[in-house]
């Protein structure tokens, strides 16, 4: 039996992005339905951000402690792997979403469990887990917040090999003796850091000539060197040609590389890219391509429509949870303004309806050892965009606060300066603890703070943030 219900807003996907859209539209007084086929809270809560950082935190804390005389001797032993995994399980609420259900209930959003599918303009059909069917119609907006999924390459033998994706890597209940990781991006590097620390012998295979290729080249060099010191086997320029795993995908796995060499492992993780989770959600019913990324304007409204929005990973502007939540705030405010027939320019006192930070000032932290943190443009990207720029580098290890933070601190900072306007287009750090420096860099880049004013943002002594003063001094020469 199909039940028809009308709402002001219907949200497809109840990850952090969909939850934030619902929060904003409910706060504006709009009735809102949220549709989710898996756990409320999405990948970030159960298979990505939260569990990965729960696995990484003990590894990074131990690494920091080992760099401090007087403490290093006490932390030379292995991590208690089962204790780390147990804490990870607690952080993801043992893969139960009762808390998320309660929160959505508290804001007055109506939750529909099941697979949601567009059924023409402003309509969504939900097939529930017990065979029930719901037809939801939206007076003002349907918002697609279905996120992205891991993509496996087409390789001989991979089908049936039961390879890990990021989901299996963050939810595994024991450390494999040997773990091969294919991919030198964020997921590959973070999982190599975590599982090497948890007792696996990691082999990291990166097709390019460096790790973390979207960041400044020196970042990948620092991270690769540290992984090697930790005992991981890091191979650059390594491409997998085939996978061999006999025994129904339960025995050892062999990776055949293009150069003919082989890598033996007990498990293999492919961290080789993402695709939008827009297949099978009825895009074709509104004239869009099934399974495609969705192009949006700066209010996250799908181009060519008046009622359809795409927020978070699905619009491909910045595949990061915090950027998706930022977009959700933008979209929610825009939907509310349009529903109230208020022109965006009149209601947009704080720039709340126009997403710009997901193009020019995207911050990201890679929780490897050492940490990597960047916001805005790299030097290569700035030059490619036609800016007249100068890169200013500084050795973080020579800053007083860094020397106190850890014995033999190794790290590097770079700021990319727009020479015509004397503002920062990008900032990158690599080194222990640098993730906490990133928000200051984000404020400088997003706010287009003139270098003349940055001189008056005095860093506290003795902290690693003194690197800001040294970068400015180096720029002035």
Same domain (yes/no): 283, 267:
no
Report the alpha-carbon distance of residue 90 to residue 53 in Å, rounded: 13
Q: Is the pLDDT of residue 347 over 70?
A: no
> pLDDT band for position 322 (50/70/90)?
very high
Q: Determine the pLDDT at residue 360.
A: 83
Same domain (yes/no): 435, 296:
no
Q: Is the pLDDT of residue 2 over 90?
A: no
Report the alpha-carbon distance of residue 227 to residue 234 in Å, rounded: 7
- The three-state secondary structure class of 233 is strand
Q: What is the CATH number of the domain that holds 229?
A: 3.50.50.60
Q: Determine the pLDDT at residue 349.
A: 54
Same domain (yes/no): 116, 199:
no
> pLDDT band for position 137 (50/70/90)?
very high
Give the number of domains in the chain: 3
Q: Final residue of a domain: which of 298, 326, 357?
A: 357
Same domain (yes/no): 110, 12:
yes
Average pLDDT, the chain: 95
Q: Is the pLDDT of residue 247 over 90?
A: no
> pLDDT band for position 391 (50/70/90)?
very high
Same domain (yes/no): 102, 183:
no
Q: Is the pLDDT of residue 255 over 90?
A: yes
Cα within 13 Å of Cα(183), Cβ side: 21
Q: Final residue of a domain: which of 272, 288, 315?
A: 272
Beta-strand ranges (E) seen in 28-165 are 32-36, 110-113, 115-118, 123-127, 133-144, 148-150
Domain that holds residue 346: 2-41+97-149+276-357
The predicted model gives 60-84 an average pLDDT of 95
Q: Is the pLDDT of residue 32 over 60?
A: yes
Same domain (yes/no): 31, 143:
yes
Cα–Cα nearest to 277, from 118, 186, 123, 144: 144
Q: What is the pTM of this model?
A: 0.94
Same domain (yes/no): 261, 175:
yes
Same domain (yes/no): 189, 264:
yes
Report the alpha-carbon distance of residue 10 to residue 146 in Å, rounded: 13
Q: Is the pLDDT of residue 121 over 70?
A: yes
The predicted model gives 200-229 an average pLDDT of 97
> pLDDT band for position 130 (50/70/90)?
confident
Extract the tokens encoding 189: 């590097």
Same domain (yes/no): 177, 123:
no
Same domain (yes/no): 337, 379:
no
Q: Final residue of a domain: which of 324, 357, 390?
A: 357
Q: Determine the pLDDT at residue 345.
A: 63
- Residue 72 domain-assigned (yes or no): no
Same domain (yes/no): 117, 32:
yes
């Amino acid at each position: 039996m199909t039940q028809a219900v009308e709402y002001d807003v219907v949200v497809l996907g109840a990850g952090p992005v969909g939850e934030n859209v619902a929060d904003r539209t409910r706060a504006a007084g709009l009735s809102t339905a949220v549709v989710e086929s898996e756990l409320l809270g999405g990948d970030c809560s159960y298979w990505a951000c939260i569990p990965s950082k729960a696995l990484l935190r003990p590894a990074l804390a131990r690494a920091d402690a080992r760099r401090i005389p007087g403490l290093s001797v006490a932390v030379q032993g292995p991590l208690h792997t089962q204790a780390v995994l147990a804490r990870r399980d607690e952080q993801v609420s043992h893969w139960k979403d009762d808390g998320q259900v309660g929160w959505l209930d508290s804001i007055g959003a109506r939750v529909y469990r099941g697979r949601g599918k567009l059924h023409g303009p402003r309509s969504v059909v939900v097939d529930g887990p017990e065979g029930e069917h719901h037809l939801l119609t939206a007076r003002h907006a349907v918002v697609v917040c279905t996120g992205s999924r891991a993509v496996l390459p087409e390789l001989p033998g991979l089908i049936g090999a039961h390879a890990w994706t990021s989901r299996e890597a963050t939810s595994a209940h024991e450390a494999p003796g040997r773990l091969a990781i294919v991919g030198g991006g964020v997921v590959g590097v973070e999982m190599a850091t975590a599982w090497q620390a948890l007792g696996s012998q990691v082999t990291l295979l990166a097709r390019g000539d460096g790790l973390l290729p979207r960041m400044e080249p020196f970042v990948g060099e620092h991270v690769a060197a540290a992984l090697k010191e930790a005992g991981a086997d890091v191979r650059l320029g390594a491409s997998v040609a085939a996978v061999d795993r006999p025994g129904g995908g339960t025995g050892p796995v062999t990776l055949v590389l293009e150069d003919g060499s082989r890598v033996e492992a007990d498990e293999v993780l492919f961290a080789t890219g993402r695709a939008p989770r827009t297949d099978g959600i009825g895009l074709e019913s509104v004239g869009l391509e099934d399974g495609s990324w969705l192009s949006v304007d700066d209010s996250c409204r799908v181009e060519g429509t008046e009622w359809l929005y795409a927020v978070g990973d699905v619009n491909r502007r910045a595949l990061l949870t915090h950027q998706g939540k930022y977009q959700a705030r933008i979209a929610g405010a825009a939907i509310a303004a349009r529903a109230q027939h208020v022109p965006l320019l009149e209601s947009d006192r704080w720039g709340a309806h126009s997403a710009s930070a997901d193009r020019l000032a995207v911050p990201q932290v890679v929780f490897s050892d050492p940490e990597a943190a960047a916001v805005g443009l790299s030097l290569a990207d700035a030059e490619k965009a036609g800016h007249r720029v100068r890169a200013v580098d500084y050795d973080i290890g020579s800053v007083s606060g860094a020397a106190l933070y850890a014995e033999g601190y190794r790290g590097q900072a770079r700021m990319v300066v727009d020479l015509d306007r004397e503002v920062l287009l990008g900032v990158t750090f690599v080194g222990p603890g640098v993730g906490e420096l990133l928000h200051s860099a984000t404020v400088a880049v997003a706010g287009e703070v003139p270098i003349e004013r940055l001189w008056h943002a005095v860093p506290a002594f003795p902290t690693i943030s003194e690197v800001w003063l040294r970068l400015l001094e180096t720029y002035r020469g």
